[in-house]
Amino acid sequence: MPPRPTGAPGAPPASGGPTGAPPAPDGAGFLGWLRTPRPDAAPGVWRFGHRPRPDEEPEETPARQLFSGALIAFLVGWLFWSLLWNNYLGGYWMWPYYVLTPEEWAKPLTPSEEKAGFVTSTLYYVLVGGGILLTAARMGRWPEIWQRYLAPRLRRPAPVTGAAPATPEEDPAQWPQLRAAGLLGAADRLTADARTGLMRDVDHARITRAWQAVRAGRQSMADFSAAVTARGAAACLHPSGDRDLPGRAAPHDLLTAQVRIGTTADDSRNPYRFRGAGLGLGPDLLGTSLLAVGPAGSGKTGGLVRPVAESLCLQALAGRAAVVVVGAAGAGLGAVDGYDIVVRIGAPDSAHDLDLYGGATDADEAAAVLAEALVGDLTDPNPGGDSRRSTTVLAQLLGPFRTVHGRFPSVPELRGLLDGAPGPLRELRRALIDAGQDGMLRELSARERQLSQPGDVGGVLADRIALLDRPAFAGFFDTSGAAAPFSLRAIDRPVRVRIDLPQRGHADASRIIARLVLAQFTACVAAREDRSLFACLVLDDATGVITPEAVRGIQRLRSGHAGAVLTLRTLDDVPRPLRGPLLGAIGCRMALAGLTPWDGQDFAEVWGKEWTEARDVTDRQIIAETPLGKTAHALRRVITGRSPTARAVTVRQVERERWSASELAHGVPAGHAVLSLTTVRGEHAPPLLVDLRG
């Protein structure tokens, strides 16, 4: 794909401004974004401008009780002062004044003594009245009323962006890490570009990534310094030449590699420190993989898949990630210009093709991946089930064919070999005999002997490969060498890939291709040597993709600095024996609104239980024994309509489900989801109710 011009107009700002707005001419927006504090927070909390809250909710007095107590305290204080002032309590409260002041001031003889007596008596009255007022304020909790109701209305909202630090060593806009290394010229150039509005968040993240490569010894410091000094914010560009995406659909913070997908609801079921905080996802969470389950229209694509894919594309431009997005054509996965490679399976105008064998050169490796794609969903889902028989059958054909032709067979050629047609097998045998390949000849002979045996899986493989041998896919999966199809082995570099699956009439073929991409991705992640680059597969619809081998592959992604984002309409699309292992292999689990109770039961089991405080309230009727008591009870019954009762409260610790199946099915509002998170370091966040529209 030819590189597009850099600095395209209309690109998003570096900070969290409105989507599509250009950066401020003087760079104030970028500097404010860069200097905004990002304190450490719990997993999933949006750290940009976050204000931490205490772990436990402070006890607050109900508003009615608070105001009534304040009014009563004021009236009591007023009454006490009135009694003192009018001498209803005697003159004892004036004794301290008479003891501490001269007697002449009480009966002044001169104007100066009269003035002194007036001033001192007034001060004494103020002192006594102020003491009564402070006592009433403390008893009536007036400061709490001020803090809860009056101060927030008078206080101006604090700005989100931060001010410049006191010293240049603390200012990230001064690039102190470069100055400490002696690269003063490069640091000055970057500082100037930041102040003049020539730098964006992607530029900052990209140059920071390049500096990390220098520190790790993967890049020369001299080359880095020369490039930055010469080009400034445009140095170390992505191979596409892009410095931003055509448009952004969600807020991003590339300094923490987070994308904001919603706001944690202010709900009693959420821990207090999470309530009202933004929820952000990053590689530290996606590295444990994420599974989202919800019906159509619940917000899986728009609220989760597209923001995550957009974030990973931005990180790819910064040289920190490689992303492969798989979904149906027209599913709303972002603009085509936001990707380096777009593979549109079944579209005649597609500029790229997909490698059926994932760039493998070993027949056994290619057979294992292809067998998983073709018949992985037919494998026994119980523990121990695998597709080794299918892998053996394919290897018995792929190995001899590659030995003769120097390539793997195309889809029609592989279909003919799996069908057991005499012509293709006879030609392959003759070519092996002419080449003297006795070992491969034995492989082919074993395949021919199995053709006539009952239970041979070759027929099933032939039926499945026939789904790809259709006129709509005639120009795809080329193995002749005339074209260079895309291989997932390219995820060892920062690349943005989108694969559009065929629509209408090719549902089975789409599932085969999705399983093929997932199998190739897990195999390529395990074979990577440089794992500093985060690799992620985003699969918009994982229906028919979850197999025993897929679950094992997802479990291995975490150790390879990679992850997967999968969505399902229902867990019924996963075989029952695989649901537990799948939810156990996934670190981040999301249940969206509209979940069925039986799906909610699986989530409730994996989220487990917690100890909580249960309050049992019991009302006991009071029986009066005296005539006066009976009369009072009768009068109270006439007025209130109820018999007098005594309330008993019992508090005990019980173990309950964090979220029950009924709550997940009926208690999650529209546009919300319940999400639990796990980081690659093992930190956990409990299931949180999240507003995906916030």
* Confidence band, pLDDT 50/70/90 cuts, at residue 452: confident
* Confidence band, pLDDT 50/70/90 cuts, at residue 11: very low
pLDDT in tens, 431-450: 999 888 888 999 998 988 88
Task: Name the phi and psi angles at 110, rounded to 5.
Answer: -120, 160
**Which two tokens mark 17?**
């401004």
Is a pLDDT exceeding 50 seen at residue 17?
Answer: no
Q: Measured between alpha carbons, how far is 232 from 234 in angstroms, rounded to an integer?
A: 5
DSSP per position, 240-277? T--SS-S--SS-EETTTTEEEEEEE---TTS-GGGTT-
* Confidence band, pLDDT 50/70/90 cuts, at residue 168: low
Q: What pLDDT was estimated at residue 162?
A: 55
User: Which of 208, 301, 320, 205 is CA-nearest to residue 250?
Assistant: 301
Question: Among 33-42, 100-109, 354-363, which stretch is predicted with the lowest mean pLDDT?
Answer: 100-109
Q: Which residue has the higher pLDDT, 452 or 242?
A: 242
The three-point CA angle 340-539-360 to 5° equals 65
Q: What pLDDT was estimated at residue 16?
A: 39
Its pTM stands at 0.83
* Confidence band, pLDDT 50/70/90 cuts, at residue 636: confident
The three-point CA angle 514-517-521 to 5° equals 140
Tell me, what amino acid is at 439? G
The pLDDT > 70 percentage for the chain reads 92
Mean of pLDDT values over 362-375: 93
DSSP per position, 14-72? SSS--TTPPPPTTSHHHHHHHHS-----STTB--TT-----SSPPP---HHHHHHHHHH
* Confidence band, pLDDT 50/70/90 cuts, at residue 9: very low
* Confidence band, pLDDT 50/70/90 cuts, at residue 21: very low
* Confidence band, pLDDT 50/70/90 cuts, at residue 15: very low
| Domain parsing of the chain, residue ranges | 27-55+169-234, 63-140, 286-355+482-570, 363-473, 616-653
Is a pLDDT exceeding 80 seen at residue 569?
Answer: yes
pLDDT in tens, 482-538: 777 889 999 999 999 999 998 777 889 999 999 999 999 999 998 888 888 999 999
Number of H helices, E strands in the chain: 26, 14
**CATH H-level superfamily of 286-355+482-570:** P-loop containing nucleotide triphosphate hydrolases (3.40.50.300)
Q: Which helix (H) or strand (E) holds 606?
A: helix 597-607
* Confidence band, pLDDT 50/70/90 cuts, at residue 1: very low
Q: Measured between alpha carbons, how far is 683 from 309 in angstroms, rounded to an integer?
A: 24
Q: Is 296 helix (H, G, I), strand (E, B) or coil?
A: coil
Is a pLDDT exceeding 60 seen at residue 3?
Answer: no
CA 613 to chain centre: 30
Is a pLDDT exceeding 70 seen at residue 160?
Answer: no
Q: What pLDDT was estimated at residue 342?
A: 93
Q: What pLDDT was estimated at residue 294?
A: 94
Task: Name the phi and psi angles at 166, rounded to 5.
Answer: -70, -35
Q: Are 546 and 582 in contact (CB under 8 A)?
A: yes
DSSP per position, 506-531? -HHHHHHHHHHHHHHHHHHHHH-S--
Is a pLDDT exceeding 90 seen at residue 297?
Answer: no
| Whole-number average pLDDT of the chain | 86
* Confidence band, pLDDT 50/70/90 cuts, at residue 18: very low
Identify the burial level of 592 via C-beta atoms within 10 angstroms of its C-beta, where 0-12 means exposed, 13-18 middle and 19 or more buried.
buried
pLDDT in tens, 496-511: 999 999 877 788 999 9
Q: Are 264 and 689 in contact (CB under 8 A)?
A: yes
Q: What pLDDT was estimated at residue 69?
A: 87
Identify the burial level of 212 via C-beta atoms within 10 angstroms of its C-beta, where 0-12 means exposed, 13-18 middle and 19 or more buried.
middle
pLDDT in tens, 391-432: 999 999 999 999 999 999 999 999 999 988 888 899 999 999
Mean of pLDDT values over 567-575: 94
Q: Are 412 and 475 in contact (CB under 8 A)?
A: no
Question: Among 472-476, 548-552, 573-577, 664-668, which stretch is predicted with the lowest mean pLDDT?
Answer: 472-476
Identify the burial level of 539 via C-beta atoms within 10 angstroms of its C-beta, where 0-12 means exposed, 13-18 middle and 19 or more buried.
buried
Q: What pLDDT was estimated at residue 385?
A: 57
Q: Which residue has the higher pLDDT, 360 or 151?
A: 360
Crossing angle of helices 597-607 and 576-585, rounded to 10°: 40
Q: Are 41 and 279 in contact (CB under 8 A)?
A: no
pLDDT in tens, 374-394: 998 888 776 655 678 889 999
Question: Among 270-284, 327-341, 673-687, which stretch is predicted with the lowest mean pLDDT?
Answer: 327-341
Is a pLDDT exceeding 60 seen at residue 158?
Answer: no
Task: Name the phi and psi angles at 359, rounded to 5.
Answer: 75, 10
Task: Name the phi and psi angles at 430, rounded to 5.
Answer: -65, -40
Mean of pLDDT values over 657-665: 92
